[in-house]
Amino acid sequence: MPNNLQEEIVSKELHEILSLLFLSTKVDLCGSKPGFLHRRITRRMLATNTNNYSEYLEYLKKNTNEIEALQDILTINVSHFFRNSFTFEYLSKIIIPKIINNKIKANNPTLRIWSAGCSTGEEAYSISILIDNYLQKNNLHINLSIFATDIHQKSLDFAKKGEYPAESLKETKLEIITNYFSQLDGKYTILPKIKEMVHFSAFNLLNNQQYAPEESIYGDFDLILCRNVLIYFNKGYQEIIFNKLYKSMNSSSFLILGEAEEPTGIYEKRFHKESIYFKIYNKL
């Protein structure tokens, strides 16, 4: 069989797999990079003893439980507290003080943050801890609202519990663990005051109906974290996501991306890089 014809068949079968997933879950992953999809689906093929996309597609049609397993492996990304610790150190020392001081000068006591693609919640809780820590040390008060969204409901349910294994805190300072977690039976639980600051909800970054989480009502975020999400999508879908992020930011907002991510297309000229060392951007 000619290679181009074989590739066309494989591509068609992959599209059918993603279509079946969408029909069952309303999760649209057609814009995901083929390499990412192949690696993740191959894991499920190994787990189900299927040898190719065609066999796996037939297995998927006959075993409805596999739909959930496929969704899990395509949408759950591993995370932990203060992942990429240097980025959080810069946030703690530079970005957070700058945002809060600007709020105080403007007599605006409200701080709004969006963790887009929050997975199991570690990132949202990490930024909440940093801000609470800064406010306490400087005897300041501000109304903080953190909106954390993900496409995967199981991840959100896990995040809402606020209970994590020790492995999730491998980049967390002892002072933070002591002050912001309780420990019982090998699990570390976020203190209630931190949990109350974070609002978790399902949101699809490729949904054309909304540019910001419904719970936030109107966006206008001071800080958006969208880290290690864009790398899974092609450039066309990345621009859709950047459009949402850009619209959701206020005029002095900051955007934090993953280490392998940067603005693409027309958005290359709509953001200014805050630091040469980190993927932190200002809206132009």
What's the token pair of residue 57?
């597609």
Burial 115-134, CB ≥16 within 10 A → b, else e = bbbbbbbbbbbbbbbbbbbb
Share of the chain above pLDDT 70, in %: 96
Domain boundary among 49, 75, 101: 75
Q: Quick check: 208 pLDDT over 90?
A: no
- Quick one: pLDDT band at residue 244, thresholds 50, 70, 90? very high
Separation CA 196–CA 181 (nearest Å): 14
Name the residue range of residue 56's domain.
3-75
On whether both 43 and 183 belong to a single domain, the answer is no
On whether both 65 and 114 belong to a single domain, the answer is no
Domain boundary among 45, 75, 105: 75
On whether both 101 and 139 belong to a single domain, the answer is yes
Confidence (pTM): 0.87
pLDDT per residue as tens digits for the range 151-173 = 989 999 999 999 999 999 999 99
What is the average pLDDT across 123-145? 96
Q: Which of 74, 183, 89, 171 is nearest to 127 (CA)?
A: 89
What is the average pLDDT across 197-219? 90
What is the average pLDDT across 208-215? 88
Q: Which of 205, 263, 209, 176 is nearest to 75 (CA)?
A: 205
Which CATH number fits the domain that encloses residue 13?
A: 1.10.155
On whether both 106 and 226 belong to a single domain, the answer is yes
Q: Quick check: 207 pLDDT over 90?
A: no
Average of per-residue pLDDT values in the chain: 91
**Is 80 part of a structural domain of the chain?**
no
pLDDT value, residue 9: 46
pLDDT per residue as tens digits for the range 34-89 = 888 999 999 999 999 999 999 999 999 999 899 989 988 887 677 899 999 999 99
On whether both 277 and 251 belong to a single domain, the answer is yes
Q: Quick check: 11 pLDDT over 60?
A: yes
On whether both 40 and 168 belong to a single domain, the answer is no
Strand order in the sheet with 163-165: 163-165, 187-190, 181-184
CB 48 within 8 Å of CB 66? yes
Q: Quick check: 10 pLDDT over 70?
A: no
On whether both 50 and 134 belong to a single domain, the answer is no
Domain boundary among 46, 75, 104: 75
- Quick one: pLDDT band at residue 6, thresholds 50, 70, 90? very low
Separation CA 150–CA 76 (nearest Å): 9
186 versus 242: which is more confidently predicted?
Answer: 242
